[in-house]
Chains A and B, each alone.
Chain A
Amino acid sequence: MKRFILFLAVALSAAGVARAENAARKLTIGTTLHPYYSFTVNIAGDLATVVPLIETGFNPHNYQPQPADLKRATTLDVLVLNGVGHDPFALEIVRAAGVAGKVKLISANERVALLPISGLDGGEKVPNPHTFIGITAAVQQIYTIAEGLGAVDPQNANAYRANARAYAGKLRRMKADAMGKIAALARLDLRCASVHGSYDYLLQEFGLQIALVIEPAAGLQPSATGLKRSIDAMKARQIQVLFAEEEFPAAYVETIRHETGVRTRFLKHLTNGSFTSDNFEKGMRHNLEQLTSALVDANGS
């Protein structure tokens, strides 16, 4: 009997320790692009460890996996990804690291209604993967990520959902502030071009659409002939503003401005700089300011 009681005590104690270890063990969540890092940190808070899958300073459009990425992938429980064409390198890393099926993948865009890239020549509609440059699409992804994390870590599902709701509210208020700046405008009309086909979700929220994209493909600079064609098209379509990016060569932007007299605004692609919890908010605040000021300039205050 004594032996049995001793056995029972040891077994219960071991079970208790195991439970405590499970409860204390935080998920390690990898993220691909900068916005997904910001989203996930804000959802997870201190309930999980969030790490970028790749290091800073790389262009995600043509990223080639590095050995350090594979090592990092082996430490992950979960990987949050765009999943609709902006981070195919992530799946390559997961496969190469031999953790396919072990790491739970959360595709943030699983339920997002993708928009076609506007302003492209040619009739075929191409889905735009830049769903992270916009508030409403970001909010939808934030809820999807929270739900995915809750499925992996049910103990904290309510906390993830509550954090997602708080963060979504914060982002919506940021957009409401921007809307307030253009509330007095008689109309929302802006004929615009962009150097990169990435701003459809942001502009859509303001009822706007890109009429022309300068880059022939993501990350590719236009040829002299291509630039001439774009300038002619901008003149023909009476484009009022060009949304440029700081990474796009200034000489091209200056040439376009000189030839067309178009106003320019600089938007952020949100996939540069440090991985921080407020990277997305800072970038979007900048983008909203640039967009609302372009609208006010074009439509009068």
Chain B
Amino acid sequence: MTAHAHSQEIVPATGRAEVRGVTCVAVAILLAWGGGIALRRIKPSPPPLASYQQSAFATLSAQDQGLFGDLRAAAEEIRALQMQNKSWPEPAALAAESMPPFVEDVVWIQRGRLAWQRLDAHAPTHAVYWGRNAVIEWALVISGDSVAVWRRPYKPDGAIPQAIPEMLVLDDWTEFVPRHAPSP
């Protein structure tokens, strides 16, 4: 009978593997937590404005912001009337419904007595409401589901505004968009 001598290396229980595992888990948790915090801090920024656009929130005076808001609210009602009657309402009809900025009340006087008319009388899909005085011109352009509000200083030789943005841009109009700062 032959006795075979065995030798086996016993690795001391340092816990290295466990330490490595726990470290990996800790790093993963820290990365996930840090990433989460970082993502929470990123506020979605609105798309950049085109060269012919300005933020109504940031740039318009209080008076003009009121007019801008009135036009956008009026657009909702104008579209509802168009769906109901299958024709675009005239400014006189909107004024008769006490709808700002068409109704000629004290605020209309304070805002410069803009005279409103509707253009594109024969276009079923779009309408332009043009208001002006000797200082300023505003245009509310409703085209399908889109609503746009444009403004330019009074231009005696300017063309009648069209529902085509490129033409408005060429004729010195600026579009105002209701972009505002992110909520705090």
Known A-B contacts A113-B72, A114-B57, A209-B62; the reply to A124 vs B84 at CB < 8 A is: no
The minimal Cβ–Cβ distance linking B142 to chain A, given in whole angstroms, is 13
B111 with A136: CB separation less than 8 A: no
Residues in B with CB closer than 8 Å to A204 are: 62, 65-66, 69
Residues in B with CB closer than 8 Å to A143 are: 76-77, 80
Q: How far is the CA of A121 from the CA of B73 in the complex (A)?
A: 29
Q: How many residues of B contact A (CB 8 A)?
A: 33
Q: How far is the CA of A144 from the CA of B84 in the complex (A)?
A: 17
Interface digits, B77-95 against A, CB 8 Å rule (1 contact, 0 not)? 1001001100000000000
| Count class of interface residues, chain A | 35 or more
The minimal Cβ–Cβ distance linking A213 to chain B, given in whole angstroms, is 15
Q: A179 near B: Cβ within 8 Å?
A: yes
Q: How far is the CA of A183 from the CA of B104 in the complex (A)?
A: 10
Residues in B with CB closer than 8 Å to A118 are: 62
A113 with B111: CB separation less than 8 A: no
**B83 and chain A: residue at smallest CB distance:** A161
| Chain B, range 85-118, C-beta contacts under 8 Å to A | 97-100, 103, 105-107, 110-111
Is chain B's binding surface mostly helix, strand, loop or mixed?
A: helix
Known A-B contacts A112-B72, A113-B56, A143-B80; the reply to A207 vs B180 at CB < 8 A is: no
The minimal Cβ–Cβ distance linking A106 to chain B, given in whole angstroms, is 14
Q: How far is the CA of A116 from the CA of B68 in the complex (A)?
A: 14
| Chain A, range 209-229, C-beta contacts under 8 Å to B | 209
Residues in A with CB closer than 8 Å to B99 are: 172
The minimal Cβ–Cβ distance linking A120 to chain B, given in whole angstroms, is 12
Q: How far is the CA of A114 from the CA of B106 in the complex (A)?
A: 23
Cross-interface CB contact of A115 among B65, B83, B84, B97, cutoff 8 Å: B65
Residues in B with CB closer than 8 Å to A205 are: 66, 100, 107
A188 with B76: CB separation less than 8 A: no
Residues in A with CB closer than 8 Å to B68 are: 113
Known A-B contacts A126-B184, A139-B76, A140-B72; the reply to A183 vs B106 at CB < 8 A is: yes
Residue from A84, A114, A161, A185 having most chain B Cβ neighbours under 10 A: A114
Q: B160 near A: Cβ within 8 Å?
A: no
Q: B22 near A: Cβ within 8 Å?
A: no
Cross-interface CB contact of A136 among B70, B83, B106, cutoff 8 Å: B70
Q: B178 near A: Cβ within 8 Å?
A: yes
8 further A-B contacts with Cβ under 8 Å, apart from A143-B80, A179-B105, are A112-B178, A113-B68, A125-B181, A136-B69, A139-B76, A140-B73, A183-B106, A207-B63
* Cross-chain pairs A/B with CB under 8 angstroms, 18 sampled: A85-B184, A112-B178, A113-B57, A113-B178, A115-B69, A165-B80, A168-B77, A169-B97, A172-B98, A176-B105, A179-B106, A188-B107, A188-B110, A201-B69, A204-B62, A204-B69, A207-B66, A209-B62
